[in-house]
Amino acid sequence: MNIGEFFTKQNLKFTFLDPFNHFEKKETALEVRKDLITGTVSRILPFRFRGYERPPIEDYLKKSPPDKCPFCLPQRDQLTPRFTEEINPEGQFKRGEVVLFPNAFPHSHHNTVAVMGNAHFIPLEEINPWLLKDGIIVCLEYMKKMKKMDSALNYASINWNYLPPAGGGLLHPHLQTVVGEEPTRFMETLILGARTFRERTRRDMWSDYVAWEKERGERFAGEGKKTLWFSAFAPRGMAGELIFILPDTFSLLSLTEEDILSVSEDLSLVFRYLSRINLISFNLALYGTLLEEALFPVQGRIVPRYLIRPLDTSDVNYFEKLHGEVICPFIPEDMASGLKDFFHAS
């Protein structure tokens, strides 16, 4: 078994009479890609790609001004939950301008919100690495504390819905952590995939994946001090998907402050790239274990999200919702080459 066998492509052709060319016969090509590690199926439709438009930030700010925001001061002190004394006697974890507290609408039995600073809205290209670093560190401090209280908590993630197209309900920048005894379904899929790969080949799936993508080069998007960046072969979003891996780090708790700053610098660079192509909303997850787990290096994924004009149509449709397959007009290799230029220029 070779890692390349996990990634398959099928070319399809579609023929129709084109109303924009005197109803002459026209043939278009699309590609069905399967990533058997993640179980993702994506349909790459390059003929649909027309670039992106920025979502209406001014409208968002009008509808959700600072005085109505529970994360802005002074409301934050009255409206956000506090931890019980055994978790944190101060009720919150703090680091620099970042404050972490329990999620009032929890998705899990250990679920928090980390508000990143006092500014109600920060444009994507202005999110700086120091703020991100403090955001990640405060999440990890919470995780360390929870792990100390319950050693069975082994899986965690730091997550971000940035802006409404990505499901963000508040403009104020905030991360969310999820910690549990069991991995989430996607993390479990990756861990089981790596385990099966090891059993069958006695090899490490992640090392083979990184080597395979680096050798091919077409989806290898750049390299930070700790991270390797790739565009996903079969993206999980209509605007593609970026993957970053920290190949030698096997627990979130073993990240040093220097590592976190370096990852934050990469993220800030990637955000500037996404903003440059008008993709200013995303879902982000940084996944890791809270134990040294060789089957799962610390890694993250970013799925940019956008609205389709003129109706502000959602980028999730029946194919994704009801068939579990993603329509993607943005060729993954084009995303990698755009980001590569940014890495080279920095």
Residue numbers at the binding site for Zn ion (CB under 5 A) = 69, 71-72, 120, 172
Question: Under a CB-based contact definition with an 8 Å cutoff, are residues 296 and 288 in contact?
Answer: yes
**CB closer to Zn ion, 69 vs 327:** 69
Q: How far is the CB of 310 from Zn ion (least distance, A)?
A: 29
CB of 129 to Zn ion, least distance (A): 21
Identify which of residues 77 and 248 has a Cβ nearer to Zn ion in the complex. 77
280 or 327: whose CB is closer to Zn ion? 280
Separation between Cα atoms, residue 135 and residue 114, nearest integer Å? 7
Q: Which tokens go with 114?
A: 């980390």
Say which amino acid occupies 213: E
Look up tokens 């610390």; give the residue: 298
Distance in angstroms (rounded) separating the CA atoms of residues 287 and 295 = 13
In the complex, minimum distance from the CB of residue 71 to Zn ion, in angstroms, rounded to a whole number: 5
- Residue with Cβ nearer Zn ion (71 or 162): 71
Q: How far is residue 150's CA from residue 283's CA, in Å, rounded to a whole number?
A: 29
Residues contacting 216, CB < 8 A, separation 6+: none
| CB closest to Zn ion, residue no | 69
Report the residue number, 120 or 305, with the smaller CB distance to Zn ion.
120
Q: Which is nearer to Zn ion, 115 or 153 (CB)?
A: 115
In whole angstroms, give the CA distance from residue 265 to residue 245: 14
DSSP reduced 3-state for 276: helix
Minimum Å distance from CB 72 to Zn ion? Answer: 3
CB of 248 to Zn ion, least distance (A): 38
Quickly list H helices, the chain: 57-63, 75-79, 129-149, 185-201, 205-216, 257-276, 318-323, 332-345
Least distance in angstroms from the C-beta of 200 to Zn ion: 50
Q: CB–CB of 120/106 below 8 Å? A: no
Residue 190's H or E segment, with its range, is helix 185-201
